[in-house]
Amino acid sequence: MAARGFTLVELLVVLAMMGLLLGIASLAARPDPQGRLRRDADRLQALFTLAAEEAQTGARPLGWQPDRDGYVFLVGGGNGRAALPGDDDFRRRNWEAGAVRVRLESPIPSGAVSGNHPPGWIEFARDGLLSPFVLHLQLDEGDAPAAAGWSVRGDGRGHFVVEARN
């Protein structure tokens, strides 16, 4: 009469395979903050291109204003800035990566061209002129040392590229 059931070796092989699959699944499910920050940078590149075109075709200046939790595109100048009503592309958005530190480098100080603006303000003018800039994005990890991040570089002629920051 033949014995029924599994051998100890067969059970151990099955358990080892289940452990391996569980480990792979947990790595795949773990969030990747740098990947989400890259997607934020890629989205900004596309939105900046769209904003530069919209400012010219709509004959109205647009501005971009960041904060720790997200960003918004605004229309108008001076104290009359407002969100674009009914425009899904330029709506207020939260950073996909969570809290983000934003630093803007520009050869022309913010507000030098068309009045005073809050820190980090980028203005897309009606005439298509834009000060060249580099917008640095990194995860806001409190008092931790600055980590790698991503930059969006604008050349002043409506072209924007995303670059890795180390």
Q: What is the pLDDT of residues 134-148, one digit of tens each?
A: 999 999 876 656 678
d(CA 31, CA 77): 39
Share of the chain above pLDDT 70, in %: 85
The answer to pTM > 0.85 is no
Task: Answer yes or no: are the C-beta atoms of 63 and 120 closer than 8 Å.
Answer: no
Structure confidence at residue 77 as a pLDDT band (50, 70, 90): low
Does the pLDDT value for residue 153 go beyond 90?
Answer: yes
42/55: higher pLDDT? 42
Cα dihedral 120→126→129→134 (10° resolution): 20
Query: CB neighbours (10 Å) of residue 75?
Result: 20
Task: Answer yes or no: are the C-beta atoms of 150 and 137 closer than 8 Å.
Answer: yes
Query: CB neighbours (10 Å) of residue 123?
Result: 22
d(CA 18, CA 13): 9
Q: Which residues pair with 75 in a beta bridge?
A: 62, 82
